[in-house]
Amino acid sequence: MKKAVEWVLNLVTTVIAQACSLDAKYVTIQGGGDWDKMTSIVKEIYNYLAIAGIAFTLVYFLMEMNEKLALEGRDLTMKSFFAPFLKLMVAIAVISQSGKIVSSIIMFNDTFITKISSLAKAGDTTQADLVEVMTKLMEMFGKLGFFILLVVLIILMLTAIIGLVLKLVWWYKGMMYKLELLFRLSVLPIAVADIYGGRHSNAIRYIKGFLALGLYGVALVALPRIALTLATAMTTEQLAALTGAGGDPDIVAGLSCLLMYLVAPFAAIAASNVAKQVSKEALGA
């Protein structure tokens, strides 16, 4: 029985460490064959909508020209008459180059996410701290009787299963991030069609939305590790309480340490949902 508990406890250690991490490769998409494969359909949609985007821009141009002729009439000057034409040229230029602009933003986001992920891994001792906690738990559980050990084994197996589910949630979030980014890219020509309206147009907010999405990607790779670090810090104070008075095992304290590590990925998932909204608010997207 003790061997089974030790094996499951090692499994729990690995699962919790994975449930509190999301590698940058699950979020970044720019560059390489993967980028070409993922954007093959996106490019077709983008090219199809590009014509519609320019058509919308021409409609905005005609509406402004009609408004100027209706309101200014005979007071219309050469400057005010040609201003819409200049704005039209700039708008068409932005629309035609919007794919390159956004691709540059995506490349910047990927670089930023990879950098943050590398910094989070550098000097990270949470894995070693987690192993230390699990070792102490194993020492404590080794003193338990058969039936109590059986209960602990069931709890550990449930913890491992929950940890695996949480890992799937992070993979789901990473894939959803990529799909959202690709879909936003595919409808880009329509979204930037009203760039004709200037800095207050929806197009500017839409382009800033790609930067906000990049910040959200940073949150996806950073928050799980931060949560694991917080869990380690909070359980450090409980390590001394893993044995009760007279050297008897303190099961409650031991399971509390274990469950604290299980709470960490739940908290990180909830915080990531908030991070997406915060990123949009920060950039006004």
Question: Residue 204 pLDDT more than 80?
Answer: yes
Sequence-distant (≥ 6) Cβ neighbours of residue 234 within 8 angstroms: 260
What pLDDT score was predicted for residue 60? Answer: 81
**What does the pLDDT average to over 106-132?**
75
Q: How confident is the model at residue 163 (pLDDT cuts 50, 70, 90)?
A: confident
Q: How confident is the model at residue 263 (pLDDT cuts 50, 70, 90)?
A: confident
Question: Residue 217 pLDDT more than 70?
Answer: yes
Task: Retrieve residue 147's tokens.
Answer: 């039936």
What pLDDT score was predicted for residue 137? Answer: 66
What pLDDT score was predicted for residue 111? Answer: 86
Separation in Å, CA 34 to CA 11, 99, 102, 232: 32, 18, 18, 36
What pLDDT score was predicted for residue 93? Answer: 81
What pLDDT score was predicted for residue 114? Answer: 85
Of the given ranges (20-34, 130-144, 235-249), which has the lowest mean pLDDT?
A: 235-249
What pLDDT score was predicted for residue 252? Answer: 67
- Higher pLDDT pick, 284 / 127: 284
- Higher pLDDT pick, 180 / 128: 180
Q: How confident is the model at residue 150 (pLDDT cuts 50, 70, 90)?
A: low
Of the given ranges (94-103, 202-211, 228-237), which has the lowest mean pLDDT?
A: 228-237
Give percent above pLDDT 70 in the chain. Answer: 65
Question: Residue 31 pLDDT more than 60?
Answer: no
Task: Retrieve residue 198's tokens.
Answer: 């200037």
**What does the pLDDT average to over 165-169?**
83
Question: Residue 241 pLDDT more than 60?
Answer: no
